Amino acid sequence: MADWGKCLDFGVSIARQVVLDAFEAQKVVSLKTSPADLVTETDQGVENLLISAIKEKYPTHKFIGEESVAAGASPVLTDSPTWIIDPIDGTTNFVHRFPFVAISIAFAVNKQTEFGIVYSCMEDKLYRAQRGKGAFCNDIPLRTSGLEDITKALVVTEIGTERDDLSLSTLTSNIYRLLKIPIHGIRAVGTAAVDMCLVASAGADAYYHVGMHCWDIAASALIVSEAGGVVHDISGGKFDLMSRRVIAASSRTVARGIAQVVEAFPCERDDGL
């Protein structure tokens, strides 16, 4: 098995480096797919910095980056070594200075994620995992809560960027049905990557979401698995990184309990297949 540890260390060093200047910059905000889907020049700037630094060191590697895809690049995952990048996960938080913003970097080979890095910049928390080698936050090993009883669960989800009637009614009725189970509570932090790292670090027991993208969760899905959690499709079936649907949980039982009550609204796959 190839050891991608050096690539991981390089990814960690550039994730930390680029935020130092970027977060001080003036925010110039534009819209993408909806009035709630924001992008700033910082998102684009950070992605360019990350990609050019990686390209210089690994010229043959491929990229799937949120802003490159927005600019027309193809988001199809091949067997080639591929970096999957969200330069700012939590752009709306970033614009409003709500203090949860992350850089998410995953690295996949043969369509399998080899390592994931989520740097929650404002908290200065560096989450990372390498396949088969565990998950860590600031070098401290992570374990999920292991909770089995859904009635004791704290669940995170996201409101997302869709504002059409079907998406909004599905989203709110999912929250209603979960609260009626009942569960302990629902939270939304505003960054899918950090939501999943909260599951990995036992701050929450589960996360579910429809509509996020592969770059939001590629890194944190590995972090959850390596911390002992489970990652499934929203239906409870096999997780598909490109499907824009996920449940991450402390245990199979909690994941199944969520899959039984939540429904998905239709959304186009990232790879368009």
Just list the catalytic residues.
Answer: 66, 86, 88-89, 91, 216
Judged by CB, which is closer to ligand IPD: 31, or 80? 31
Question: Among 125, 89, 131, which residue's Cα sits nearest to residue 107?
Answer: 131
- CB 247 within 8 Å of CB 232: yes
On whether 216 is known to bind a ligand per the annotation, the reply is yes
Stretch that binds ligand IPD, among 50-58, 83-91, 109-117, 168-176 (CB under 6 A): 83-91
Report the run of H or E that residue 185 belongs to, with start and end.
Answer: strand 185-187
Angle at 61 between CA 111 and CA 127, to 5 degrees: 65
Q: Which of 89, 114, 205, 226 binds ligand IPD (CB under 6 A)?
A: 89
Q: What is the DSSP letter of 27?
A: P
Residue 174 binding ligand IPD, by CB under 6 A: no
Return the residue of 161, 170, 201, 220 that touches ligand IPD, per CB under 6 A.
161
The piece of 14-22, 52-60, 122-130, 185-193 that touches ligand IPD (CB under 6 A) is 185-193
Residue type, 105: I
Instruction: Residue 212: count other Cβ atoms within 10 Å of its Cβ.
Output: 24
149 is in an annotated binding site: no
**Burial letters for 82-100: b for 16+ Cβ neighbours within 10 Å, e otherwise?**
bbbbbbbbbbbbbbeeeeb
Asked if 191 is part of the footprint of ligand IPD (rule: CB under 6 A), the reply reads yes
Say if residue 88 carries a ligand binding annotation: yes
Binding-site residue positions for Mg(2+): 66, 86, 88-89, 216
By CB under 6 A, name the binding residues for ligand IPD: 66, 86, 88-91, 158, 160-161, 190-192, 211-213, 216
